[in-house]
């Protein structure tokens, strides 16, 4: 039994190493996701600025169209003036022209504001695009480093899986099944050392008779408190 327990302990060591590898791979994958999200955020900001520029340009075009229409109105009104015979009509057309000129002044002011806004947005866009380019390079380097870490972990996990496949052949199926269930239930630790009368898995005292049986190493003994399989290390000279 002792030999089998030792083999099981070696298996657990390997399994814990693999657990560590898998955990590190998960962390690395999360890192890649976070890097991608950061990049997407920067891309979204650039896209939003571009959309804002397009929108402002469309507003400017609409204002320019209004301006052209008002200018055309004035030309038409001024042409109308020539055919007018009454003072009343003359006043009405002049009033139209004055209103159109006032509108034109307002439109020109608004167009200038849009031009200023577009210039500001373009300058902001250039800065954001530059920052994005830098971020892309930076994140590319970081992702490459994380990816190579992942592939190293995967290689080592694959090598360990081969070793494991060989090792489990030596362990009786029932014992292996029990070990695996215990590992699931006991946070990866199914087999623990007993030392100085205690289980090192849960630190509880083991009844003396049970402890003596452990020394004999003839049967599988589990901790009465945490149910883990117990193994005892016999120091040299013992
Ligand atoms: Zn225990």
The range of the structural domain enclosing residue 180 comes to 173-231
Q: Is residue 1 part of a domain?
A: no
- CA–centroid distance, 209 to ligand 1, in Å, is 16
Is 40 part of any domain? yes
Considering the entire predicted model, what is its pTM?
0.76
Boundary-marking domain end, from 144, 168, 192: 168
- Please give the distance, rounded to the nearest whole angstrom, from the Cα atom of residue 200 to the centre of ligand 1: 6
205: its two tokens: 């005292």
pLDDT for 235: 59
Whether 142 and 213 map to the same domain: the answer is no
For the stretch 114-171, pLDDT in tens is 999 999 999 999 999 999 999 999 999 999 999 999 999 999 999 999 999 999 999 9
* pLDDT per position as a tens digit, 63-77: 999 999 999 999 999
- Helices in the chain by DSSP H: which ranges? 2-82, 87-168, 173-185, 208-216
Domain count, the chain: 2
| Same domain, residue pair 61 and 98 | yes
Looking at the structure, do residues 116 and 191 belong to the same domain, yes or no?
no
Distance (angstroms) between ligand 1 centre and the Cα of 230 equals 8
- Residue 227 alpha carbon to ligand 1 centre in Å: 6
- What is the spatial distance between Cα 231 and Cα 217, in angstroms, rounded to a whole number? 8
Q: 231 C-alpha to center of ligand 1: Å?
A: 11
Q: 7 lies in a domain? A: no
Same domain, 138 and 212: no
Residues 6+ apart with CB under 8 A from 174: none
Separation of 191 CA from ligand 1 center, angstroms? Answer: 9
Q: What is the CATH number of the domain that holds 35?
A: 1.10.287.1490
């Amino acid at each position: 039994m002792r030999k089998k327990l030792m083999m099981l302990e070696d298996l657990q060591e390997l399994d814990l190493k693999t657990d560590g590898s898998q955990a590190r791979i998960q962390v690395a994958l999360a890192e890649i996701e976070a890097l991608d999200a950061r990049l997407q955020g920067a891309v979204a900001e650039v896209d939003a600025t571009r959309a804002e520029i397009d929108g402002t340009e469309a507003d400017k075009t609409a204002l320019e169209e209004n301006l052209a229409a008002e200018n055309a109105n004035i030309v038409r009104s001024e042409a109308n003036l020539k055919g007018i015979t009454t003072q009343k009509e003359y006043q009405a057309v002049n009033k139209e022209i004055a209103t159109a000129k006032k509108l034109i002044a307002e439109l020109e002011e608004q167009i200038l504001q849009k031009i200023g806004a577009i210039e500001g947005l373009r300058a902001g866009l250039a800065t954001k695009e530059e920052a994005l380019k830098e971020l892309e390079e930076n994140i590319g380097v970081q992702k490459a480093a994380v990816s190579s870490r992942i592939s190293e972990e995967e290689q080592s996990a694959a090598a360990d899986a081969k070793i494991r496949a060989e090792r489990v052949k030596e362990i009786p199926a029932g014992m292996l099944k029990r070990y695996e269930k215990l590992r699931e239930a006991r946070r990866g630790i199914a087999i623990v050392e007993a030392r100085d009368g205690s289980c090192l898995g849960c630190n509880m005292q083991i009844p003396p008779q049970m402890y003596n049986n452990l020394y004999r190493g003839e049967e599988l003994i589990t901790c009465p408190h945490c149910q883990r399989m117990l193994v005892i290390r016999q120091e040299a000279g013992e």
